[in-house]
Every structure is written in structure tokens, then in C-alpha cells.
Amino acid sequence: MPTALPAALRPQLELVLGTSVTAATRLAGGDINDVFRLDTARGPVVLKASRRGLPGLFAAEAAGLELLRAATPLAVPTVISHGDAPGGWAYVLLEFLPAAPDTPAAQEALGRGLAALHRAPAPGFGGTAPNYFGRLAQANGAQPSAADFIWHERLAPQVALAAAHLTPADHARFEALRGRLPALIPPEPPAPVHGDLWHGNVLSTARGPALIDPAAAYSHREVDLALLHLFGTMPEHALAAYHEAYPLTPGWRERTALWNLYPLLAHLNMFGASYLGRVRAALDHALTRG
């Protein structure tokens, strides 16, 4: 990964911004993109750039950010521009959101903001353009129910990609889960969801809690709550504020394993067999306890 701003990008970025880039500082980012803070005469901006050749990656991110912005009072960075640059680079320029302390009040605002997001109207399960979960293509076809959406647009494609890791017994257990999904998923209206809501995609900023890097869709709201518990726990104040604003259906904690099968399968497909044990444990939990 480059530690300095790639030279091939600078002319395109300065043209789009209408000013020179005076400094570039690498920021912590995911495993997919190179992320920089760019200092300019118009103020700081964030650059995300990639040479992975993922078609429409940043157009999909821009669309996901706009979907969130329309549905939640939480801060969502404005998209300044996205496109292609010489050398095989794709990029997106985003509003820079200054950091601020993560306080109990900020966590409560996060909980209320997520509840507002999930209460926003959605036309159905799926029905938005394809996008990405990490570097993996993510389909968002319209489906008649949450169970159909989770199986056809989420689990089945990842199970197919993971064929080299899964045994016939694993495949049989996934088929068993497919048949049980309608009974396991509580009936709720479709909701706009962030779709990749692990802790790294929630920022504490001067404008309050902010959401970044979405894999947005119209899905079941418990998807987001489960992801916040995949690599940690949802802050207590955030969870309490969420539940007060939009009470969760009883048993939601037991269903986190079911929802997190998708991101765990995606991690298995992106990063290898070290995630296989967690996939099998989540599958066992989903089959035995819902």
C-alpha cells in the first residue's frame, strides 16, 4: 500500500477540487482501499482510492451514502466526486469529519439515529442496485420476504463462493437452515440498513456519530444490530437509546449468529480458512437456538 499520495492521482484530484493538494496524510482504512486526508485551500477532504479493478465500487459507495443520508439524522459524509484516474486508479472524494470524543451522550445519539434509520420507509426487501461487501460483489435483488432476501441475495452466493472450504455436511446444514429461515426471522417491515455496521464504520465526530463505508440495502433491521456485536458489543448507552426509540423483537440477541453468518462467510471468502470455525459455530447456533 502506498504511504504517499500516488502521483498519478494528484492532477485529477486537483482538477476536481479546483485547488492544489498541499499535504496528504495516510489514514487508517480497511483492507480494500488506500485512504488519505488531503489538505487543500478549501479545507481537508478524504480520499479513498483503489486499483483493485472492482467495477463501480465508488459509485456504489456514493449511492449507499446517499441512501443513508436520506433516512437518518446521523452524520454521513458528503460525496464530493468519484471517478477514474490514470494508472488504473478509481477514487472517491468525501467530506472530512473532524474527530470528537465518544461520550455517553454521543452513544445515545447513535442509538436514536440508528432507530430513525431503521424506521424510515423502505419499498421492500432488496430492490436497489448491486454494490459491495468489502471487495465481494453484493446483489440486492428484490425479494418477497426477509427470509428470501437473506437466502438468495446474501447467504447462497457466499456459500457458493466458499465451496472449497465447506464439506458436504456443511452444505446440508445450510440447506436445513434455508428451510427454517421463515420461522427464525421475526416479521418486521423492510428497513434501510447500513449493511456493514462494524465498529470501524461508526465514527465519533464533531457533528455527532457518523456512518461511513456502507454496504447499504433494504433488509431486516437486525442485520445492523448483529454486526455491531460481531467484533465487539454495541455500547450500552446506544443500545438502550435504540431500544427506547424502536423496541427490539424479543430474542434478537439469539438471532445475532443467524444474521452474522453472512459477514462471517464473506470474511471466509476474503481472508481464508481462519474464519471457518466461526462460520460453523454461527451455523450451529442458528440451527439450534435461532
Amino acid letter at 107? Q
Q: How confident is the model at residue 1 (pLDDT cuts 50, 70, 90)?
A: low
- The domain limits of the chain are 10-95, 104-289
Whole-number Å distance between alpha carbons of 283 and 221: 20
The pLDDT tens digits of the residues spanning 105-147 come to: 999 999 999 999 999 999 999 999 999 999 999 999 999 999 9
10-95 under CATH 3.30.200.20, yes or no: yes
Domains 10-95 and 104-289 share a fold: no
Whole-number Å distance between alpha carbons of 98 and 150: 36
Over residues 268-288, the mean pLDDT reads 97
Q: Which H or E run includes 222?
A: helix 222-227
Q: Tally helices (H) and strands (E) across the chain.
A: 11, 11
Q: Is the pTM of this model over 0.75?
A: yes
Over residues 200-213, the mean pLDDT reads 97
Q: Domain 104-289 sits in which CATH superfamily?
A: Aminoglycoside phosphotransferase (APH), C-terminal lobe (3.90.1200.10)
Confidence check: pLDDT of 197 > 80: yes
Q: How confident is the model at residue 28 (pLDDT cuts 50, 70, 90)?
A: confident
Please give the share of the chain, as a percent, with pLDDT higher than 90: 93
Please identify every residue annotated as catalytic.
196
